[in-house]
Structure 1
Amino acid sequence: MNLSCIIIDDEPNAVKLLEMMVGQYTKWALLAKCYDALEAMAFLKEQKADFIFLDINMPQLTGMELAGLLSKDTKIVFTTAYSQYAAESYTFQTIDYLLKPITLERFLAAQLKIEAYFSKNQASEKIPPAVGNEYFFVKSGKELRKILLDDIQYFEGQKEYVRLVTSTEQLLIYRRIKDIDEQLSPPFVRVHNSYIVNTRQLNKIMDNHIYIAGKQIPISEKFKDAFMGVIQQRIF
């Protein structure tokens, strides 16, 4: 796919590695190599790129600070040696988060992800319809309990059953969390092997954790991208 990009990184060796990978393994046009945030800002005022490779730990302005100053439609692939910024990075228009040293295997995986992102049909990126008053029934003892989807905060897998949590009650469902996940769609998103959350109910995201009504829920690497993809659609 023919895309354009720039590299923003104060480490010459990191720039050379990315430049080599882009040149040898993609059809992307590398428009510029910027060694600090101010140079990158000056370039982006004059020319637009489809996406940027952005280092986080840089002098003058960090990558996170620069990302906050860029246009909201600037697509970003973060490149960093620090994993702790992963969740925060997805508050921007982030496509991927590459940990240094970047291996060829990881770069090629990112290439597929980047090109898939730009290949998506525009309609598929629209915000999912509201859940509204949709509901389903949960078997609890001898009863079938009607639960509004909007009332659910999260599902928690616990061995052979799943715990459904709302603001007023908790119910045990004797099913696998995988089976429940297959029946649900956004705003319900799997964030961990043990958790499905209702994104309408979450209060904040910080340090790779979600907070819902005082409950801290971890975001695992396996499910992070899909979860943050849903969150991105609600970021102003």
Structure 2
Amino acid sequence: MGDATTQSRRARLRAETTAEIKAIALTHMATGGPAAISLRAIAREMGMTAGAIYSYFTSRDDLITALTADVYDSLANVLEAAHRHAPSGRSADKVLAHAHAYREWAIANPEEFRLIYGDPVPGYKAPEAGAAQEAEHRLCAVLLGLVADAWPQAAASQAGCDYDWSDFQPSLAVMARELFPDLPPAVVALCLRVWSRMHGLLTLEVYGHLRHQVHEPGKLYEADMHDLIRTLGLEDHAEVPSANG
């Protein structure tokens, strides 16, 4: 019983220390950019020796990979919850719920947003496989599922858009075909276009490029999302509200 309690305590302390290392890394990135992430700097701030912190992460790249996996999973969780709690089963409402959740998460977590969607971390080489890639694929699958759900209504709006599976990276094509074997490759193209519409204005907002142009960037984003719904041929039953930027 004593050994089990000791191991449990050690596991809890290790988890807490790991979480603190990650939090400090994001703070350093927020103030100094991705290049500011340094295990030695984090160790100094925590009062740890360099050797001690390397027992948690073997390298800076190992830390960045762990952070990236966490961020992808966190965002996927948020978006999946948004789909479940959409006000109705209509595709338009699910698209809006997804868009709102995406923006709220990005505004609340700008450092995490920049980590996965900003400039590459200097000198960082992502592993070809592992937790980060699995989490990224999961996030991609969430959006793909959203678009696949809307496809019966949206297909007509994509008439004349010819795509083949060879137009996409093999990993993306394989995932899409495994998840939705009955859907055409045009669904993947539409998925990427929907993402670009949501991502474009949001990136400008997170990076501060809209602050001198509009007072309420959320209002601009909301209008664009309703326009996206109409472009997809979905029934938009909601009025465009006045968002609090």
TM-score (ref. length: structure 2): 0.24
Q: Which has the higher helix share?
A: 2
Name which structure has the greater RCO, CA cutoff 8 Å, separation 6+. 2
